[in-house]
Amino acid sequence: MSDSKPIMTTTAGNPIADNQNSLSAGPRGPLLMQDYQLLEKLAHQNRERVPERTVHAKGSAAFGQLTITHDITRYSKAAIFSEIGKETECLLRFSTVAGEQGAADAERDVRGWALKFYTDEGNWDMVGNNTPVFFVRDPLKFPDFIHTQKRHPRTNLRSATAMWDFWSLSPESLHQVTILMSDRGIPKSYRHTNGYGSHTYSFINAEGERFWVKFHFKTRQGIETIRNEDAEALIGKDRESHQRDLYENIEAGNCPKWDFKIQVMPELDAEKYHINPFDLTKVWPHSDYPLIDVGVLELNRNPENYFAEVEQSAFSPSNIVPGIGFSPDKMLQARIFSYADAHRYRIGTWYEALPVNRPKSAVNHYHKDGQMHFMNPRSSDAYYEPNSMNGAVQDERYAEPPLKISGDADRYNHREGNDDYTQAGNLFRLMSDCQKQQLFGNIAAAMDGVPEPIVERQLAHFEKADPAYAAGVREALATVCEPVTAQ
């Protein structure tokens, strides 16, 4: 072996003499248990895959930076916004929602938009989608909804009946269903989508004032989509079309960009606004709260190792920084717990210390031990808090102003008195005739094989949004689907 090449070793650093032949009793004899390297290679291979994400399993990602172009310090004291021209490194993971890791990229689905900003004050994660709303507003219904997007326990097939049964019994889903079934349901690529924080978050400025905020990322590449028939042809040739497009464009120097904008609502406006501003199924009309420019997001570096930097990446809305906070958004409140807990299950107790998730700023806490504690920290007498051993201490400068809360603890009916039709109808009326025809056809195709009572129940929701919406779908159903009676 040439001196210029490193010597192959075991994972413990022991030199390996032969990596071509197993140790056996004679040339035809059985293998020996003492061939540790054989056992190590087989055992490691068995463990080369971590559990895939329950949702958003199929994804692509790239690194880049956010550059601040406008002053918004009147709204937030976060260091990431501290000055015009400030750049912050980030990681953006795109994904589909329903499909498994091997699913095709060009399927009709919502696209996940998960951003990690490595700020001077720790990591800020924004977990959103390419849509500004979602299917449910109460997190108690989130697992039920996701079950409808996964495989039937008996057939092991995706079930259109399950999806439309749930949606038709959940009128709050109509706004998101309308977007999903529109031309935007199948983007041409990740580069050609907008991104949204979707949830309502809060900003806090240096004076301790709180504002409610929505995050928007508007693609500079333009919105481009593909039709069902074109997607089917594309999937037949390339199941990784979005991954390929993102990777190859960045490698070629054609770096995608998005304009980062926000909507801002003064704290007390929430009490008098005509819709619940913390309802994830609703948007804030731009006429009431116009978009405010913040900066430019650019992706310009592909990951060096997909597993280490994409599969092991972990995003959670629990990661906030001073000047950015939460809101009473019920879905956000639940995701603050569920996302971090999913990562602890999937990639280990110490997932935040993995290189792709590790903050660029100092980390000081009192967590101990646990599976995969791989950092080998120095021991200290300050392994509890409070202590007299010069350990890390709290700092009240980072406390948020009190949030005004009132009300009796109860299980409130989130559908009672809620208008789930106006915004979906407004979206429909904004569509061109061509877009409406695509919407009708896409819904009809997606309802193929669904029992007639479920179809009729869903048509009643379309009718309440706009009679023309229901009429168009009904006409498309007559040409696409054979009616199926309930079993």
Active site positions, annotated: 56, 129
Peptide bond into 6 cis (omega under 30): no
Cα separation, 326 vs 336, whole angstroms: 9
Q: Which residues pair with 324 in a beta bridge?
A: 203
Sequence-ordered list of residues with C-beta below 8 angstroms from that of 281, at least 6 positions apart, any chain: 133, 134, 135, 136, 137, 172, 173, 175, 176, 420
Q: Which residues pair with 174 in a beta bridge?
A: none
DSSP secondary structure of 249-299: HHHTT---EEEEEEEEEEGGGGGT-SS-TT-TT----TTTS--EEEEEEEE
Give the SS3 label for residue 62.
Answer: strand
* Lookup result for tokens 């706004």: 175
Residue among 169, 131, 108 at smallest CA distance from 461: 169
Sequence-ordered list of residues with C-beta below 8 angstroms from that of 337, at least 6 positions apart, any chain: 318
Q: Are 442 and 108 spatial neighbours (Cβ–Cβ below 8 Å)?
A: yes
* Lookup result for tokens 């309502």: 200
The crossing angle, in degrees rounded to 10, of helices 452-465 and 422-430 is 80
Query: What b-and-e string marks burial along 124-151, b requiring 16 or more CB atoms within 10 Å of the CB?
Result: bbbbbbbbbbbbbbbbebbeebeebbbe
Cα separation, 318 vs 338, whole angstroms: 9
